[in-house]
Amino acid sequence: MNKSKTIPTDIAEIIDACPYGIITVDSTSLVNYANSAFTKVTGIEVDSIINTPNHTMWQTLLKHYSVDGNMKTYIGGVLTLRARDSAKVVRLSCQLPKQSNTKQILYFQDITAESEVDNMKSEFLYSATHELRNPIAIIFGFSELLLNTEFNRDASIDILETIHEQAKELNHLTNELLDIARIESRKGKDFSLSEEAIENILLTVRKEWAGRVEEERIILTMPTQIPSVFIDKDKIKQAISNIMSNACKYSPESSVVSIEVILDKVTSDSMVGITIRDEGFGMSTEDLDHIFERFWRSDRFRNLPGTGLGMSIVKEIIEYHQGLIEIDSAVNQGTTVTLWLPVYIDLASIM
């Protein structure tokens, strides 16, 4: 509830509905008003600061928050407050009204979500830069070696193959970075949804992967009748291919990777499942906890090529389709990934 000695009731009610926490300090440096949003934003009860001196209000505030910025210059500017016992972040701005009995007006805005996004962007840029640096350094070093040293043909070919492999890895990483950036920045605007037949997509996926590994490794099982789905077929094909890449990479070369369409009794009226199962090295509980984190890779597989972006792209694609991802895995017992996609419903036929 707001507290006020100087603000008319009708005006106070309007200010009280504001999503920002608001405090006013009068000409005698007493806190004479605080709206109820102040408590919602900061977690500090209005009663603990109302009718107290300005410096006492700050003492109360600093018990709960640390400050980013210069306290001496915050008036007329902005400070960032970080909660001492939680992840909450609050932006504080101060205005000095002219020709008024109010000395200061303080605005408190909860920017926790905004701060988390900024942190994620910073971490993403740091990780991306780190991952890009490695292949670039190898390409630069080996190409410089070729320019400054004479090698016989076999040695030159070995170096060129290394440069080629790193350039291919760099190209793959760049494409995956662009995929994530495009999905996030366009918020699905480049998705083209339509009624599609799952079987056609899976037959294409099987053909492609049978050309990359031994054909006998890829087994496709589908029921005779499969409901159509409402998807962007290219994006879903990309998601399936990312999972297939993991299934083949993290399992023995002679093992089987199976693709199966599931019509679950509970969800078949609204969802179709695509299950990809391998007989590979599997994942630990810790691996599963981090599976969708960008650039994260298990220490067990650092020797294998990869960017750590594949499953995060799968997650972005499936979530946009309002689908679900289920993963079942254990160390040395293989991994099963199921993508659940919404069944196409012709609204015109039921209206």
Domains of the chain in start order, with CATH, are 3-110 (3.30.450.20), 115-186 (1.10.287.130), 194-350 (3.30.565.10)
Query: Which tops the pLDDT comparison, 339 or 168?
Result: 339
* Each residue's pLDDT tens digit, 216-273: 889 999 988 888 888 888 899 989 999 998 898 888 888 999 999 988 644 556 889 9
pLDDT-derived band at 124 (thresholds 50, 70, 90) equals: low
Contact, 43 vs 65, CB < 8 A?
A: no
Identify which of 122, 120, 90 has the alpha carbon closest to the alpha carbon of residue 106: 90
Cα gap 21→106, rounded to integer Å: 8
Identify which of 223, 236, 222, 196 has the alpha carbon closest to the alpha carbon of residue 322: 236
Residue 1 has a pLDDT of: 46
Cα gap 34→54, rounded to integer Å: 12
Q: Name residue, tokens 């971490």.
A: 123
Task: Inform me whether the pLDDT recorded for 350 exceeds 60.
Answer: no
Query: Which tops the pLDDT comparison, 207 or 300?
Result: 207
pTM of the model: 0.57
Strand partners, 11: none
pLDDT-derived band at 347 (thresholds 50, 70, 90) equals: low
Cα gap 246→119, rounded to integer Å: 28
pLDDT-derived band at 8 (thresholds 50, 70, 90) equals: low
Average confidence score pLDDT of the chain:
82
Strand partners, 108: 21, 92
Cα gap 74→92, rounded to integer Å: 9
| Amino acid of residue 320 | Y
Average pLDDT (116-143) is: 76
Task: Inform me whether the pLDDT recorded for 10 exceeds 70.
Answer: no
Cα gap 61→45, rounded to integer Å: 11
CA 183 remoteness from chain centre: 11
pLDDT-derived band at 346 (thresholds 50, 70, 90) equals: low
Cα gap 230→113, rounded to integer Å: 31
**Which tokens hold the place of 107?**
């605005």
pLDDT-derived band at 278 (thresholds 50, 70, 90) equals: very high
Contact, 80 vs 69, CB < 8 A?
A: yes
**Sequence-separated (6 or more) residues with CB below 8 Å from residue 226:** 197, 198, 199, 261, 263, 272
Average pLDDT (89-114) is: 84
